[in-house]
Chains A and B, each alone.
Chain A
Amino acid sequence: DQQVKQNSPSLSVQEGRISILNCDYTNSMFDYFLWYKKYPAEGPTFLISISSIKDKNEDGRFTVFLNKSAKHLSLHIVPSQPGDSAVYFCAASGGNTGNQFYFGTGTSLTVIP
């Protein structure tokens, strides 16, 4: 079963505007959430994370928001740049998941110059 879901397979945004990528999860025991970015032919690279004791974490142009009651997190990229074009995966872990990280299916972001 897919415990982490990214329902938008793709997103296109104009350069300079905000990109919002969404992620939903089903396991209320998850307490740590991550976003990874993946370019073609490369492995995913860590972007930003948030633990369940917070509802927001910011790092430069990237901000992750966590809504525990809705079991929803989002990644905001402001302003979006062409180099941000990549596939973004959200992942979750914690609680009774042992050593496993559960990943979503990814959202392909295209930033149009």
Chain B
Amino acid sequence: GAGVSQSPSNKVTEKGKDVELRCDPISGHTALYWYRQSLGQGLEFLIYFQGNSAPDKSGLPSDRFSAERTGGSVSTLTIQRTQQEDSAVYLCASSLRSGFYNEQFFGPGTRLTVL
């Protein structure tokens, strides 16, 4: 399809395990965002990639969280030593260019449950 895709759609893991979440942005989109939505909360910004520039990691909640974007396309969000408070829906979005005025297209999200 032409939209943003994310995998897996659901992930259940045990506390202390590492998880990797994948995002395939729309082809040609140079900007990529990761958000998470915890129960009863709004979307929380995590990290932003723009082309080959250094990512904006200001939203990552701890050093257990990291993300990379290979070849300016696919992105992987890694959470190490997962905790129960990491349970949330993790959403990826891409936009054609950086900047506030460029529409973000969201993927369907990955629901992470940490037992």
Residues of A in contact with B (beta carbons under 8 Å apart): 2, 4, 6, 31-32, 36, 41-46, 49, 51, 89, 91, 93-94, 98-106
Closest 6 CB pairs of A and B: A43-B106, A103-B43, A103-B42, A99-B48, A105-B42, A93-B100
Chain A residues contacting B43 (CB-CB under 8 Å) are 44, 89, 91, 101, 103
A102 touches which of B45, B58, B108 (Cβ 8 Å): B45
Query: Do residues B104 and A41 form an inter-chain contact, with CB atoms below 8 A?
Result: no
A45 touches which of B45, B58, B106 (Cβ 8 Å): B106
Chain A residues contacting B112 (CB-CB under 8 Å) are none
In whole Å, how far is A8's beta carbon from the nearest beta carbon of chain B? 13
A105 touches which of B40, B93, B106 (Cβ 8 Å): B40
For chain B, residues 63 to 105, give those with C-beta under 8 angstroms from any C-beta of chain A.
91, 93, 98, 100-101, 103-105
Known: A32-B101, A99-B98, A100-B59. A44 touches B41 (CB 8 A): no
Q: Can you report 29 A-B residue pairs in the complex whose CB atoms are below 8 A from each other?
A: A6-B42, A41-B108, A43-B91, A43-B105, A43-B106, A43-B109, A44-B43, A44-B91, A45-B105, A45-B106, A46-B103, A46-B104, A49-B101, A89-B43, A91-B43, A99-B48, A99-B98, A100-B45, A100-B58, A100-B59, A101-B43, A101-B45, A102-B42, A102-B45, A103-B43, A104-B42, A105-B40, A105-B42, A106-B42
Residue B56 CB within 8 A of the other chain: yes
Most buried by A among B43, B50, B93, B101: B43
- In the complex, what residue of chain A is closest to B98 when comparing beta carbons? A99
Interface size on B, residues (CB 8 A): 26
Chain A residues contacting B42 (CB-CB under 8 Å) are 2, 4, 6, 89, 102-106
Can you add 7 more A-B contacts, CB < 8 Å, to A2-B42, A45-B105? Answer: A43-B91, A44-B106, A94-B100, A98-B58, A101-B45, A103-B35, A106-B42
- In the complex, what residue of chain A is closest to B41 when comparing beta carbons? A105
Q: A43 to B89, alpha carbons, bound, how many Å?
A: 10
Query: Do residues B104 and A99 form an inter-chain contact, with CB atoms below 8 A?
Result: no
Residue B25 CB within 8 A of the other chain: no
- In the complex, what residue of chain A is closest to B3 when comparing beta carbons? A43
